[in-house]
């Protein structure tokens, strides 16, 4: 019996995935959590074989959850679920010891198969992803990323400077660098590109 913890913020989707998994006789859903923080809390009391988690969640993301489990030497195998447009996360996910990366665009049987194969010790990456992950390394520095994130919310240079405790000129330099690295035409374009690659 494979014991699974399902971590996903949208309750409807979470419940549906739990239902899907429990249709398989060899899988048992041990629990559900609405974000990484809640998952960590539950993991103090239960010991699932597999932690199946989404990436984009409030408070603690799926990547941070994977990182915590790796650092804590937890034995549960982590399977990451996400959308194709956020495929850029795959590299970080793998470095945090995730065992599999499944697209939400993939058919549902694929998820079940993946969980079973992971239990056999295999690492599974959706083939569509394996390709796109090989090129494309995140070129942004931490400061550039932060500035870009604020810019994509519509903050002005001055507001970003205040938020980051930097001078206005420095922020403009960072954004200029980011725009040039991403081959964008302006900050908005740059933010769009970075978001799409999963670098924001």
Partner DNA sequence: AAAACCTAGTGACAAGTGTCATCTCCGCGT
Partner DNA sequence: ACGCGGAGATGACACTTGTCACTAGGTTTT
Interacting residue ranges for DNA, rule: CB under 7 A: 141, 143, 151, 156-158, 166-167, 169-170, 172-173, 175-176, 179-180, 186-188
Min. distance of Cβ 15 from its own copies in angstroms?
A: 3
Decide which of its own copies, DNA, none touches 158; Cβ closer than 5 to 8 Å per partner kind. DNA
Q: Binder to its own copies among 94, 106, 119, 166 (CB under 8 A)?
A: 106
Q: Binder to its own copies among 40, 111, 124, 178 (CB under 8 A)?
A: 111
Decide which of its own copies, DNA, none touches 144; Cβ closer than 5 to 8 Å per partner kind. none
Residue 78 contacts its own copies per CB under 8 A: no
Nearer to DNA, 34 or 170 (CB): 170
Residue 164 contacts its own copies per CB under 8 A: no
Min. distance of Cβ 12 from its own copies in angstroms?
A: 5
Residue 79: Cβ-neighbour burial (10 angstroms; 0-12, 13-18, 19+):
buried
Decide which of DNA, its own copies, none touches 106; Cβ closer than 5 to 8 Å per partner kind. its own copies
Q: What are the residues whose beta carbons fall under 8 Å from the beta carbon of 104, sequence distance 6 or more? A: 81, 82, 83, 84
Nearer to DNA, 102 or 160 (CB): 160
Nearer to DNA, 83 or 180 (CB): 180
Q: CB of 76 within 8 A of CB of 66? A: no
Residue 12 contacts its own copies per CB under 8 A: yes
- List residues binding its own copies (CB under 8 A): 9-20, 23, 81, 83, 102-111, 151-156, 184-192
């Amino acid at each position: 019996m494979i014991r699974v913890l399902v971590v996903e913020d949208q309750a409807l989707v979470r419940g549906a995935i739990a239902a899907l998994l429990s249709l398989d006789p060899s899988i048992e859903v041990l629990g559900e959590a609405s974000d990484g923080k809640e998952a960590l809390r539950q993991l103090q009391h239960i010991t699932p074989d597999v932690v199946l988690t989404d990436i984009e969640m409030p408070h603690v993301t799926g990547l941070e959850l994977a990182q915590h489990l790796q650092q804590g030497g937890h034995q549960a195998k982590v399977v990451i679920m996400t959308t194709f447009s956020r495929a850029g996360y795959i590299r970080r996910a793998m470095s945090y010891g995730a065992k599999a990366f499944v697209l939400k665009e993939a058919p549902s049987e694929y998820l079940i198969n993946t969980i079973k194969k992971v239990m056999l010790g295999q690492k599974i990456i959706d083939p569509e992803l394996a390709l796109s992950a090989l090129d494309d390394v995140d070129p942004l520095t931490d400061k550039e990323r932060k500035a870009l994130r604020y810019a994509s919310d519509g903050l002005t240079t001055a507001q970003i400077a205040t938020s980051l405790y930097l001078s206005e000129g420095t922020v403009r330099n960072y954004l200029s660098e980011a725009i040039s690295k991403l081959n964008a035409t302006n900050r908005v374009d740059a933010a769009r590109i970075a978001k799409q690659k999963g670098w924001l």
